[in-house]
Amino acid sequence: MVVEYNLIRPSQHQASETVVNPPQPIAPMLGFPRPLVTVDVILFTVQADALQVLLVRRPDDKREPFPGRWALPGGFVNVDADASLLDCALRKLREKTGAITPYLEQLGSWGNATRDPRGWSATHCFYALVPVQAVELQKGANAAEVGWFEVEAALRKRLAFDHAELLAAAVARLRGKVEYTSLPAFLIEEPFTLPALQHVYEVVLGRPVDKSAFRKRMQGGEFMEEAGMRAAEAGQLGRPAMTYRLRDRSQAVLFPRTFNARGADEVA
């Protein structure tokens, strides 16, 4: 599910009405314990020829669960500040990492009585894609350190809570969807060239893809627009490469076929 941002405006008729003493929401008296509710965000980028994930290190406070462990950025839903799970995800990213991402997708929900030593806990997990150049890391609330890690190295760490399971699910989801979508275009800074975009695809997939089939797929997907020729570098031979921008940064494009390895025919 791709999360889109929609601004809802009242109709002209509604705007002209005067509301006298609007009804106040009634807080129900709940006669049962409520679980802890959190949101966790898995932020991916590509740098140093590797798919990387953002982790935050929890403070060395023995009163907190998993002190000093690396974890995914996230935290509790604030019922006064968060109108939705999406709002909570964006707030936690901003507070704990300083990151703002153009692409955010809900991954799933996890919950049980043992994932958090403080009590029965449910978390709603999102994953986000961002060019590394667009992120200026900063320490935030309840985050002693913030840093990028290659996903394979991150998965080998003893992450806090069940975050290794969440991360593994996000990596599998991303690599699966890359086979038939334009998602990697959210991981590269604009404007970009087709060879640079192909490299990002290959980094995420962990294998090469056929150059001719890739160019045909990208140019026929109608999700990019030309952004001008890249300036020639000193000593460069041949024609400068065309650069591109995304036409719509709110959602990915679906392709009718998956990618196959370099030198092989495309899967029908």
- Domain range for 67 is 35-177
**Pairing mode, if any, of strands 242-246 and 224-229?**
antiparallel
What CATH number does residue 138 fall under?
A: 3.90.79.10
The DSSP-derived string for 126-165 is EEEE--GGG------TT-SEEEEEEHHHHHHS--STTHHH
CA dihedral 104, 201, 239, 266 (to 10 degrees): -120
Q: What's the domain count of the chain?
A: 2
- Whether residue 125 is found in the same domain as residue 230: no
Q: Which residues lie closer than 8 Å to 25 by C-beta, 6 or more apart?
A: none
CA distance 92 to 105: 15
- Whether residue 39 is found in the same domain as residue 131: yes
Per-residue pLDDT of the chain (268 residues; tens, 9 = 90+): 444 333 333 333 344 444 455 555 566 677 888 899 999 999 999 999 999 999 999 988 889 899 999 999 999 999 999 999 999 999 988 887 777 777 899 999 999 999 999 999 999 999 999 998 878 776 655 667 889 999 999 999 999 999 999 999 999 999 999 999 999 999 999 999 999 999 999 999 999 999 999 999 999 999 999 998 877 665 556 678 899 999 988 889 999 888 766 655 444 3
* Host H or E run for residue 45: strand 36-47
CB-based contact 230:241 (threshold 8 Å): yes
Residue 30 in domain: no
